[in-house]
Chains A and B, each alone.
Chain A
Amino acid sequence: MGARPKRILPGFGLSLGFTLLYLSLLVLIPLSGLVLKTMTLSWDQFLDTVTAPRVLAAYRLSFLAAAAAATINAVFGLLVAWVLVRYPFPGRALVDGLVDLPFALPTAVGGLALTAVYAGNGWMGRFLEAHGLKVVFTPLGIIAALTFIGLPFVVRTVQPVLQELSSEVEEAAATLGATRWQTLIRITLPGVAPAVLTGFALAFARALGEYGSVIFIAGNMPMQTEITPLLIMSKLEQFDYAGATAIAVVMLAASFLLLLTINLIQWRSQRHQTTP
């Protein structure tokens, strides 16, 4: 890497220079501003802010709801991807296109619509509340909203891997006397596991920071249904910039950690693919 490699194509300086300038102005400098702002707090102030009972309750809710939603998505996302790849059925192309809806629909609209569906007078809510299950303004509602926004992450990560996974290996296993169940558990599942894990992590990361779709359905009661991003928002509305910043730094650290984990999973699974 030391010696300057011979480059035939032009534009290295221009494209890399622009990229670095743009990312510095838009991402790096603003993010370091956040860290700088935190520095103005003393360590005790910082700890007091980020470990206040209301904040801890918000962390716990955000973390558990995101984990629950990502788990639901891992299971049903795998199912949806499996059905889309393996079973031809009428309307499959339509369903396939629809999976991306949460990417295309503004999150506020998604949240609003889910609230209407699962409210006490909504289509699903009426039915569920008759059975004693209240969704809207409870953690269940938050999980529903986070499931909505996370679904495409799992489906779109697993789908191409399932497609690449040749059925020949499964056929070989079947020919060698494995039952269908054994083939699925021993051959197919290990093949898609890294993709499911990546999808889970992506859905989890997105769910952790999600705001728009949650606030309508959550009810936003402190200590009960108040998610972490909302807490930042309410601190900002009270002009408590230092408090908002402190909580944001904790969230940012969680984001970095998740990004690192996702890259690690992908890097490991790629290495496994290239070295059989």
Chain B
Amino acid sequence: MAGHAGRSAGTATSAPRVSTEPLAVRCVLIGLALAFLFLFLIAPVVMVFSQALGKGVAAYLAAVTDPEAMAALRLTLIVAAIVVPINLIFGLAAAWAITKFRFPGKNLLITLIDLPFAISPVVSGLIFVLLFGARGLAGPWLEAAGWKVIFAVPGIVISTLFVTAPFIARELIPLMQAQGAEEEEAAMILGASGWQTFWRVTLPKIKWGLLYGVILCNARAMGEFGAVSVVSGHIRGITNTLPLHVEILYNEYNFTGAFAVSSLLALLALVTLIAKSLVEWRSNHNPPDRREKR
């Protein structure tokens, strides 16, 4: 049963190893790995910024502050601000139910949570068009009520909710499984209420894992393309998110604009990576459950 916790602190021995390769082989392998990473990861990111700034800073600023780009940025932020808190609550509820209690069908439930990860983004968008679209199952009813979901902001929010649903739950479940329920049970026996136990005992133990999940969920919510593309309708200034705006500019051969908007998203990605590394570093150097280990 002793499942190993996710990210383990890298405590490599500093003693010379019998089991390693000659220096030359090591250098070749490191070189190969770095060359591969350069070709596929670093070159594209550098390309985004060099293309965005290729026509000068003034052109870059003009492209970034374009009203349509600003509207897209605003929509992207609004969608993330709605989606992340909802999936945070879902992640906490799912992880609490799955890790603190025993019930039949638990593995099925975990698979169900994973499902949105396995489904193509385009299919994720399609299922909501079939449900809420003008000719969808709930379409006529929605129309009678005067609500527009598809080709409108609610559709973008719902499909983003679907695509990002697993992130926080998947981060919390293994973490809380490894921590067990003994400390919570002790708190309850000592007279704490359920919410007190959650806020004072559970939350401090899982805060770094939670933050990690939130960061990943947020990055995906802001960057989702396929699912949102299906339900958005690409109405400029109204249902256009930043990633969709990139595509529109690119299809109009406005390459400077496309890369300028891309650079905003690339910046978001870099901030995400830095925040993620900080969280990993904090949780490795200050594991909250270490002092309580027997």
Chain A interfacial positions (CB closer than 8 Å to B): 1, 5, 7-12, 14-16, 18-20, 22-23, 26-31, 33-34, 36-37, 76, 79-80, 82-89, 93, 95, 97-110, 112-114, 116-117, 122-124, 144, 147-148, 151, 160, 163-164, 167, 170-171, 173-175, 180, 183, 205-206, 208-212, 215-216, 228-230, 232-233, 236, 241, 244-245, 248, 251-252, 255-256, 258-259, 263
Contact = CB atoms under 8 A, between A and B. Distances in A.
Contacts of A23: 109, 112-113, 165
Interface string B163-175: 0010000000000
A211 B243 CA distance: 13
B36 A76 contact: yes
B100 A233 contact: no
A16 B123 CA distance: 27
14 contacts: A10-B188, A11-B198, A16-B93, A34-B130, A79-B32, A89-B30, A95-B37, A106-B223, A163-B10, A170-B18, A183-B19, A233-B229, A251-B120, A252-B123
Contacts of B135: 241
A104 B273 contact: yes
A105 to B, nearest CB: 4
Contacts of A215: 247
Given A86-B20, A98-B41, A109-B266, A259 B90 contact: no
A180 B20 CA distance: 8
Given A11-B194, A79-B32, A112 B262 contact: yes
A163 B8 contact: yes
A27 B225 contact: no
The number of chain B residues touching the other chain, given as a range, is: 35 or more
B104 interface: yes
B291 interface: no
B278 to A, nearest CB: 10
Contact of A18 (B30, B45, B90, B113): B90
Given A212-B243, A255-B120, A110 B126 contact: no
Nearest to A8: B185
A89 B31 CA distance: 11
Nearest to A27: B115
Interface of B: 4, 6-8, 10, 12-13, 17-21, 26, 29-30, 32-34, 36-37, 39-45, 47-48, 51, 89-90, 92-94, 96-98, 100-104, 109, 111-123, 126-131, 133, 135-137, 158, 161-162, 165, 181, 184-185, 188-189, 194, 197-198, 216, 219-220, 222-226, 229-230, 242-244, 246-247, 250, 258-259, 262, 265-266, 268-270, 272-274, 276-277
B126 A245 contact: yes
A12 B29 CA distance: 51
A9 B119 contact: no
A259 B115 contact: yes
Given A30-B162, A106-B242, A263-B111, 10 more contacts: A20-B109, A27-B165, A33-B127, A34-B123, A37-B130, A98-B37, A98-B41, A212-B229, A241-B133, A252-B123
A8 B183 CA distance: 11
Contact of B222 (A76, A106, A122, A230): A106
Contacts of B17: 167, 171
Given A36-B137, A122-B47, A241-B135, A9 B194 contact: yes
- Ranked nearest first, the 9 interchain pairs of A and B with the lowest CB-CB distance are A209-B120, A106-B223, A113-B44, A212-B225, A211-B226, A10-B194, A170-B19, A104-B269, A15-B97
Contacts of B188: 8-10
Nearest to B136: A33
A174 B17 CA distance: 11
Contacts of B222: 106
A201 to B, nearest CB: 10
A109 B225 CA distance: 10
Given A31-B127, A37-B130, A16 B18 contact: no
Given A209-B122, A255-B118, A16 B273 contact: no
Contacts of A98: 37, 41-42, 273
A97 B96 contact: no
Contacts of B277: 93, 97
B250 A236 contact: no
Contacts of A232: 120, 122-123, 126
Given A83-B29, A103-B216, A163-B10, A27 B112 contact: yes
Contacts of B4: 160, 164
Contacts of A8: 185, 188-189
A133 B237 CA distance: 40
B101 A16 contact: yes
A201 B226 CA distance: 21
B265 A109 contact: yes
Nearest to B162: A26
A136 to B, nearest CB: 13
A101 B126 contact: no
A223 B100 CA distance: 51
Given A27-B162, A109-B48, A236-B129, A9 B34 contact: no
